[in-house]
């Protein structure tokens, strides 16, 4: 994967993690769902909804592939309207609060679902269920390409 793609994805995730960034007047609606790949739950994947204009919302899937989007702070959901959806398992190594190393994870999701996403979802003013059944067919971006 080109380094710029990782920077872009990282920037989106950072924006999602922003706490107390204002925007309480922005209209959002709850979004939750399940992500599977080849019929199996996709655990520990990031799911990011990117609206046509505005701040993204994101979540991580649990061991059953389930997620609930967070808009930031205490607000759960995503902005109303059409959103491009990016799903990725790529994670850089990090540390927990005690300084223990948390290993990174490679990308296992084809580019058609992340950097070159074909996924879209329209968030409506209701409880939205956004399930994604992915298949593993397709090119997976190689981290080493940009090195």
Per-residue pLDDT of the chain (147 residues), as tens digits, is 444 444 455 545 555 444 344 456 789 999 999 999 999 999 999 999 999 999 999 999 999 999 999 998 889 999 999 999 999 999 999 888 999 998 899 999 999 999 999 999 999 999 999 999 999 999 998 765 444
Question: How far is residue 76's CA from residue 30's CA, in Å, rounded to a whole number?
Answer: 6
């Amino acid at each position: 994967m080109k380094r710029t793609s990782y920077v872009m994805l990282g920037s989106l995730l950072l924006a999602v993690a922003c706490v107390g960034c204002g925007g309480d007047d922005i209209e959002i609606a709850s979004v939750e769902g399940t992500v599977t790949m080849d019929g199996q739950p996709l655990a520990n994947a990031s799911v990011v909804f990117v609206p046509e204009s505005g701040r993204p919302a994101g979540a991580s899937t649990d061991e059953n592939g389930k997620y609930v989007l967070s808009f930031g702070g205490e607000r759960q959901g995503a902005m109303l309207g059409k959103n491009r959806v990016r799903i990725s398992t790529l994670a850089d190594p990090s540390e927990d609060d005690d300084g223990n190393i948390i290993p990174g994870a490679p990308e296992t999701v084809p580019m058609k679902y992340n950097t070159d996403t074909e996924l879209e979802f329209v968030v409506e003013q209701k409880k939205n269920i956004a399930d994604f059944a992915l298949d593993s067919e397709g090119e997976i971006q190689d981290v080493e390409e940009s090195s």
